[in-house]
Structure 1
């Protein structure tokens, strides 16, 4: 008899075990390096797939239902075996310990990763390091395929089959050229609905910057707007050049816009109720990262 499809959702079962251990979805989410809404969504999806209620949520925390207690008991050995398999396969690839392969999304690669690597070089001057730059979707694919040991993404959605840890945060900024019509109104807050008919300069599909902005706009409006005048561009540099040419409203990391805003070349717009902060995640395969990846993780989280 074949296994049911839900049996493959081991990360969600692992998360459920953490809820049982900590008594809280929030604390379990923190242990897994994901946000509480993401953890709640994964657990709700697991309940739907199993067809039983697993948790009773209250202000004091999350309690297991009788069915949840049974699922936890049956899952423990399965999840432990999965961790053993993942750790064992990584151990077989011993050459990964002597080198470090990284893939990072643009904001992390441009503004944060160089400092992290410089710090790592001080203690491991002979370490073989290779770093690749991709959008968040490309980073996830590289980590999942085993091409890299560690990935850094800005995307709000973290795949359930990868381990993750929050290593920092970032904020998006909506910027226009100083001579752009909306620049004169930068003193007042725009409404999220005001953006729907504007020329928005967004990163390409698969970019964490794009996903973060679209998710924030949908939450603020209560629906996904059509954005008929939005333009997709392949890099932050291209967006900045188009913004300077008064081609529209650029949606980029505040880090990328900071110097131009400080110089007065660009003006940052304020939008009421638009949550543009986002966590930066490190991703890897298996329960624990490789030794060098773990060291870089500690450096990134400390800084």
Structure 2
């Protein structure tokens, strides 16, 4: 039986995506990675599908990620990386001393996917959720400052910063996701594809839960106003689209950027192979992989 490993399935569009997969692709086993136990039972109760299991682990801990990856005891033909966060400043750190936003949104996926690569059996698909905030031209009405790429080692350092720095770190991490997927696509074996998926603006999620009350109210108010416009997508529809990119027909060539179900170019800045390869090399060292993952790069 084919298996999809998914992060970020507990709430918001991720919860809707998980339930859609269980309801509309019942032949696929869904293995959820979550910080707390009990999510698999909740998903079975809400969908009636018992074809779901769970592994507990925190993406803000490299040790947890390694333990979780070691517990995956079945071949994978899918990976859906939906978990991500936005925090108030750039001072908060992971268990390994990495700036929290960059650590969870980028480095956690680098480590987890490299540990899981031997378990993928073609045809297989890897989808990591990005965001249109990585692109200054589509950057959520200016509510999130545009990304500022200063290099992986600099971005990994916790530094004092205010709310704007925290939001900018989020946008920069989503640019890092695109770089990571491009570099990954060059290393995957034939028949294993990788994509960045942009769900667009999805009001009603808890992404801004770490913001101060004024910022949360601002995001909630803008989101409410945009719900009836084409700019926004509701969590249920966003989850459905994400699930179908994961489990539906092959959407595009590996490495593509898919926005709300449509294959489009990502930002001009996101096509930079030098940055992509530097991210891969630095992420290997920061995650304790020792550079071994780079040896899997496919020849051009």
Q: As a proportion of its length, which structure holds more strand?
A: 1
Return the index of the structure with the highest Cα Rg.
Answer: 1
Shared fold (TM-score, shorter chain, > 0.5) = no
TM-score, normalized by length of structure 1?
Answer: 0.24
Q: Which has the higher contact order (CA 8 A, sep 6+)?
A: 1
